[in-house]
Amino acid sequence: MPQTSEQQPSLNQQTTTKRGLARQKKFLDVAEEVFLSKGYAGTSVNEIVCLSGGSLGTLYRLFGNKLGLFEAVFKKKSKELFGHFEEETHWSDDIENSLFNFGQTLQRIALSPDGTAIYRLVITENNLDQGEIQKIFYRYGPQTAIDMLKNYLQKQIDAGRLELENPQLAATQFLEMIKGPFVLRALFGETITVDEMDAALYQALHIFLQGCKTTSQGQKTQPKSLLFKEKSI
């Protein structure tokens, strides 16, 4: 049986020329917009080719198939959103400040219109690729964020500033505290205000650090109140 345009074999060959990289970026930018607006099932690679001005053969050569293109979009988006947190300059031994900055970024991503659209696409669509779509989403979204925070927490544990038995579990719990109260509301079309997100973040910081931060003598201590003076919980 001949293959349709949506069923081409996965070639996934990378390009290195300036023109080729520009074409790849155009495909990814257009695909991101179409995936978010129409969902995965409603997106056609033919439409992406038409909107980007490229060719179907080039798209398949670069990404293999629609699923490969979807993964490439997520990988690019993940790098844009989390890439700067790979630099040591965005983390410090000021645990409260580091957690606040990371947590605030995660909130704004997860609860943005695009973040809600992605989450809706992942959990509500029903298509043959849905299992792979969910794995891609988790790998480049939640798992990336959890791993970054876990690595930071482990460094603070090794330095004796935090006391945690399972830093990966702790990272997951902290991130759930700051976005969990709002995800369903966002999916149902409600607007989550900045004040609401900040209140959840401040309270999560207080609860989290109260349970695991230590003094220089290795004893657990209360978090300092600098972050809590400007805004009450």
Domain boundaries, the chain: 5-69, 87-229
List the CATH code of the domain at 5-69. Answer: 1.10.10.60
What are the pLDDT digits (tens) for 15-54? 568 887 889 999 999 999 999 999 999 999 999 999 998 8
Q: With beta carbons less than 8 A apart as the criterion, state whether 12 and 63 touch.
A: yes
Q: Who's near 149: CB < 8 A, 6+ residues apart?
A: 99, 102, 171, 174, 175
List the CATH code of the domain at 87-229. Answer: 1.10.357.10
Least confident of 63-77, 157-171, 207-221: 207-221
The share of the chain scoring above pLDDT 70, in percent, equals 85
The share of the chain scoring above pLDDT 90, in percent, equals 70
Q: With beta carbons less than 8 A apart as the criterion, state whether 110 and 117 touch.
A: no
